[in-house]
Structure 1
Amino acid sequence: MPRDGNPTRERILRVAERLMTDQGYSATSVDQVIAEAASSKGAFFHHFSSKTDLAVQLVERYVAADLAHLDAGLAATAHHTDPAARAVAFVRHYEDGADALMSEQSGCLYATVLAEREFTGSEINDQVAKATRAWRDALTDLLRPALAGRPDIDVEALADHLYTTFEGAFILCRTYTDPSAMRAQLRVYRQLLQALLGKEEADP
C-alpha cells in the first residue's frame, strides 16, 4: 500500500479499510475508527475533515494499490511473445496469488462504497471507475491481438468479466466462509479463456 510517511494517518486508514470492508460504510462510525486505531479526535480531524473525506482518501489509497497490483501482473508476464500465452499467464498470475490476496483482505472496498447511494456520481465513484477502466484497457490490449481471428467475441466485455470474477469471488468467499473460492473462480476464468484462445496448458 502507498504510504505518506505519517504513521497516524496510515494507521487510521488501515483500520478504516478493515472496518468498512467488513461491516460497511454506514455501519462504521468515526468514533469506532478512532478507538480501534488508538487515536484521538484531534488526530483524526487533523488528517480528515469528515467521514466522507476519510472515504475519499481511503478509496484513493485503495485505487493506487489496485493499479499497482495490475502493473505487477503486466510486468510479470511481459516476457511472453505469444499474445495468447501472455493473456493466459496474466490471469494465472492472479490465480496463483489468490490465496495471499484473501489472507490480506476479506472483501473489496469498491463494493462497499458503491453500495452507498450518497456516493453515486461522486468523486469516489469516479475513482473506482478509473481503476475499473484501467483493468479493462490493460486486459483488452492483451486479448485483442490474441483474439484477432474471433470478431464474434466482445473483447471489452471479456476483459470486464475478469473484474466481475474478482468481485463475485469476494462474495462467494464470504458466503461459503471459504477464501479458496477466489482461486477457484479465477481458475475457471483462466480455463474458459484458454478454451477461447485454443491455448491448452497443463494445470499444476
Structure 2
Amino acid sequence: MKEKIDTRTRILDIAEAAVLEKGFEATSIEEIVAGAEISRGGFFYHFKDKNALARAMLERYIEVENALYDDLFARARELNDDPLHCMLIGLKLLAEMLEEMPTGHPGCVIASTAYQDRLFDEGVRNLNRQAILGWRKRFRGMFEDISELYEPREPVNLDALGDMVSGVVEGGLVLQRALREHNNASEQIMLFRTYLKLLFAPR
C-alpha cells in the first residue's frame, strides 16, 4: 500500500512541476509516465484521465495553501490579537516567506487551471471556483473583524477586498515570472499592506 501512495504522490509532483512550467495543455500523460518511471497502466491505476489528475492536483494545492494561511495568521495572532495588526503581520510573514524562496515561488495550480478551464469538466472548474470563494470568505471575515474596530476611510466592498488578497498574491507571481524579478510578489504584498494601513487608519 505504501508503494502505491508514493507512486501517486510522485505522479502529482511531476505533473505539478510540468503544469506550472508550461500549462496543462502542453503537459502529456506520456511525459508524466516517463518521469515517474511507470507504465501507462500505472498512471491510469491512480488517475482515470487528465480531469482526475487536475482534480487531485487542485485538491492537494488547496489543502497546502489553506494550511499555509492557517499557520501564517495563527503566528500573527500570537504576536498581536488586534485584527488589523494581525492582518498586517500575516501579510508581512507571507511576503518574507516568498522573498526567502531561493528560486522564487513555482506558481499557482489554481491560476494554471483557470487559464485553461476549457480543458476540464465542470467538476474541476467548480473546485477551482470553490477554492477562490473559500479564500474570499477567509479574508472577508478578517476584514469584517477589522471594520468593527477601524472604520474604513473610504467605502469598500469587503468581498472585493477579500478577493484582492488573492489577486495581489497571484498577480505578483505572474509579474515575477514575466519580469524575472525575484522579489516582485513580496513587494506587491507589502504595497497592499500599506494600502490596508491607509484604508483603516484611525481618524
Q: 1:198 aligns with which of 172, 196, 201?
A: 201
Letter in 2 for 1:169: G
Q: What's the Cα RMSD here? A: 2.3
Q: 1:121 to 1:54 in 2, by over 3 A?
A: closer
Contact map agreement 1:114 1:120 (CA 8 A) in 2: no
Q: 1:15 to 1:5 in 2, by over 3 A?
A: same
Partner residue, 2:107: 107
User: Offset at 1:33?
Assistant: 0.9
Matched, 1:63 2:66: no
Contact map agreement 1:4 1:10 (CA 8 A) in 2: no
Matches within 5 A, 1:92-131: 92-100=92-100, 103=103, 105-118=105-118, 122-131=122-131
Contact map agreement 2:104 2:182 (CA 8 A) in 1: no
Structure with greater proportional helix content? 2
Q: Distance in 1 between matches of 2:199 and 2:171?
A: 21
User: Offset at 1:92?
Assistant: 1.5
Q: Distance in 1 between matches of 2:104 and 2:173?
A: 12
Partner residue, 1:202: none
Q: Distance in 1 between matches of 2:190 and 2:75?
A: 18
Matches within 5 A, 1:5-154: 6-79=5-78, 80-100=80-100, 103=103, 105-118=105-118, 122-148=122-148, 149-150=151-152, 152-154=155-157
Matched, 1:183 2:194: no
Q: Distance in 2 between matches of 1:190 and 1:120?
A: 35
User: Offset at 1:136?
Assistant: 1.5
User: Offset at 1:120?
Assistant: 6.6
1:145-175 CA-to-partner distances (Å, cap 9, x unmatched) read: 3223237122221111110011111111111
Q: 1:60 to 1:4 in 2, by over 3 A?
A: farther
Q: 1:156 to 1:187 in 2, by over 3 A?
A: same
User: Offset at 1:187?
Assistant: 0.9
User: Offset at 1:51?
Assistant: 1.8
Q: 1:121 to 1:47 in 2, by over 3 A?
A: closer
Partner residue, 2:175: 172
Letter in 2 for 1:157: A
Matched, 1:155 2:158: yes
User: Offset at 1:82?
Assistant: 1.4
Contact map agreement 1:25 1:112 (CA 8 A) in 2: yes
Q: Distance in 2 between matches of 1:144 and 1:102?
A: 35
Q: 1:121 to 1:26 in 2, by over 3 A?
A: closer
Q: 1:134 to 1:117 in 2, by over 3 A?
A: closer
Identical pairs, percent: 24
Contact map agreement 1:63 1:131 (CA 8 A) in 2: yes
User: Any unmatched runs of 5+ in structure 1?
Assistant: 200-204
**TM-score, with structure 1 as normaliser:** 0.87
